[in-house]
Amino acid sequence: MRPPGRAAGRVRPSSATTRTAHIGTSTNVDTHAVVAATGWHEPGSASAVAGVLWLAVVATVIAYGPLYAGLRSTPGSVAMIVTLLEPVTAVVLAAVLLGEALTAATALGGALLLGAVALLYLAPLRR
């Protein structure tokens, strides 16, 4: 029987990352089998394969290590609030690194998320 407490405190970040990557890989293999049965073909160009490898290694495996390390020392309520910043970060990085256009709706959505994070984070200070 496991001791009570947060799972993030009982599991090393590298173990959690390895388990998550394994589950994700298994899921992708199953999905690939289903999609392949429908006539889909995997990307054949070197740039497409490099993009898939980038997503698998950098955006998933390497990114989850620091995430799980942070979860070991962060209360769940704070982690949940900070996770709301992920879409804003993705949009800003897409605009800066990839030249994606920022529409008024995107900017408004980002501002609303930032405002919500500020309200949620500062709410306990007012009590």
pLDDT digits (tens, 9 = 90+) for 72-88: 788 877 787 778 888 89
> What's the confidence (pLDDT) of residue 7?
57
Q: Is the pLDDT of residue 3 over 50?
A: no
What is the enclosing helix (H) or strand (E) of 80?
helix 76-83
User: In the numeric block, which tokens belong to residue 71?
Assistant: 């979860």
- Highest mean pLDDT, choosing among 18-27, 95-104, 114-123: 95-104
Residues 6+ apart with CB under 8 A from 81: 117, 120, 121
DSSP code per residue over 18-54: HHHHHHHHHHHHHHHHHHHHTT-----SHHHHHHHHH
pLDDT digits (tens, 9 = 90+) for 16-69: 767 777 676 666 666 666 666 666 666 678 888 888 788 878 777 777 777 777
DSSP SS3 for 101: coil
> What's the confidence (pLDDT) of residue 108?
95
- CA triplet 23, 41, 43: central angle to 5 degrees? 80
> What's the confidence (pLDDT) of residue 27?
66
- Kindly report the pTM of this predicted structure: 0.52
Average pLDDT over every residue of 95-99: 91
> What's the confidence (pLDDT) of residue 4?
45
Q: Which amino acid is at 45?
A: S
Cα(53)–Cα(56) distance, integer angstroms:
5
What is the enclosing helix (H) or strand (E) of 89?
helix 86-98
Cα(60)–Cα(53) distance, integer angstroms:
10
Domain ranges for the chain, please list them: 1-73, 75-127
> What's the confidence (pLDDT) of residue 115?
92
